[in-house]
Amino acid sequence: MFSAAASGGDIGVFASLTGLRNDDVLHAHLEAEPHFPAHFLVRDSDRKLLILVVRGTISEADVVTDVVAGDAPFLGGQAHEAMARSANALYASLMTAGPGNMDLAGHLQDHPGYSFALAGHSLGGGVASLLHCIMHDAVARRAAQRERLARLRGGKAPAASPAPEEAVPAPAECWCFGAPPVLAPLDTVPFSAAATLTQVVVGEDSVPRLSLWSVRRLARLLRLLDEEYPPRSVGQVLGVSRSNRPPLGVAVARAESRLEEEEFHLRHVAEAIKRQRDEDSGEEAQAHGADALSEAEAARMGARTGGRDATARDQVGGDQDKVNCPAPAGEQTASRLFLPGKVVLVGSPGTPESLELREVSAEDLGDIPVSSRAILDHMPTAYVAVLRDLAVPERE
């Protein structure tokens, strides 16, 4: 996790903030691009780790990545479209040698006994979460492929030399701080990824609760609240006429109840539409035959996107087959996304009595808090302060 202080190209600033030496920074990409955030690959000699640190939102390019928030197919589920693209781009760089790429296999070869880990704050945490899932899924698929080949060869290992990516293990750990919800459903997350991924959320930080789904839900709630609690007229303000408005708490409860009824109705409508589409698809398949379906599937597979560019996709190969092309403008969907992994909630800075780590369900982080702490608790300084308080509690 690093902030604007380290965004201007000064590796020394980053090293001083993290307690590392300048030569511990093995790779640095400081100028973010759309769908390719700034990042560092660093060496932690004490823990024998190579850590990819992904920066949070600072530049205009980062904002582009944040706001392209429609759904994209991802590991059998859905993910934040732009962050999934960013995760694939970083994966391509990790798995590829050559100028401008991280070449993780080469660095691991130069550092025997080291493991690999991920970390990030805000946007960086969301991208790191998805990259963590991609890498665990890729390792599992390669292991399954080796087993199939061994069975075909009567238990013998493949004769060919292993590909470079075979030397890259799944990340041993991933730490995310103030990351946004990026993935659904949670059962699509590889078990090994979920077990080694930790999401830290400080207080009322709004970002871990922020998505198209939650923003739209908040907008609907405010609309209903406006109906339940209309503004007072001039006469009511002056005390000339009587106000028939209910107490604010009653109005909020009524608005929330009406919102739940609306969402219940919308879910039933969506299920009916899905059933109709499934029926229509079945009829179309029978009408056009299996060949037509095969052509459609081939076209869909051909449209999938992968790494940073076409060259990277060709080099990385099948492991980049993670995210489909985005939907046309105006057709983006907004499923409810979640934080994958273990979610740990801790109190705001300056509140020692609440600085207790409490594991919560990702589903508990639903509504966006309307509070002065919603932004303040997201700042990197807030996370640094909380982590320092936890590491070195005040002595009486």
Lowest-pLDDT range of 102-111, 142-151, 257-266, 327-336:
327-336
Residue 38 in tokens:
């700034």
- 185: preceding bond cis by omega (within 30 degrees): yes
pLDDT recorded at residue 133: 96
Which pLDDT does position 306 carry in this prediction?
Answer: 37
Which of 279, 302, 325 lies at the terminal end of a domain, its last residue? 302
Q: How much is the pLDDT for 223?
A: 79
pLDDT tens profile 328-349: 333 445 678 999 999 999 887 7
Tell which wins on pLDDT, 142 or 370.
Answer: 142
Q: pLDDT value at position 12? A: 66
For residue range 81-137, what is the model confidence (pLDDT) as tens digits? Answer: 889 999 999 999 999 888 889 999 999 999 999 999 999 999 999 999 999 999 999
pLDDT tens per residue across span 302-327: 333 333 443 333 333 334 444 444 44
Count of residues making up the chain: 396
Arithmetic mean of pLDDT, 174-179: 94
Shared domain check, 217 and 72: no
Q: Check whether residue 281 and residue 220 sit in a common domain.
A: yes
**In a shared domain, residues 203 and 217:** no
pLDDT at 344: 93
For the segment 159-174, what is each residue's pLDDT rounded down to a tens digit?
555 666 677 889 999 9
353 falls within a domain: yes
Determine which of 165-169, 196-200, 377-381 has the lowest per-residue pLDDT on average: 165-169
What single string gives the DSSP state of each residue in 26-51? EEEE-S-BTTB--EEEEEETTTTEEE
Q: What does the pLDDT read at residue 315?
A: 38
Q: Sheet of 173-177: strands edge to edge? A: 25-29, 39-44, 49-54, 115-121, 173-177, 197-202, 342-346, 358-360
Q: Is 353 in the same domain as 327? A: yes
The token pair at 262 is 């609306």
Same domain, 203 and 266: no
pLDDT at 3 over 50: no
Q: pLDDT tens, 44-69?
A: 998 999 999 998 877 555 555 555 56
Q: Higher-confidence residue: 309 or 262?
A: 262
Q: What is the mean pLDDT of residues 223-248?
A: 71
Residue 396, in any domain of the structure: no
Domain range enclosing 290: 213-302
User: Is residue 254 a part of any domain in this protein?
Assistant: yes
> DSSP secondary-structure letter at 371?
S
166 shares its domain with 247? no
Mean pLDDT over the full length of the chain: 76
340 neighbors 133 (Cβ within 8 angstroms): yes
Which residues touch 312 (CB under 8 Å, ≥6 apart)? 89, 92, 93, 96, 306, 320
Point out the domain boundary residue: 302, 331, 365. 302
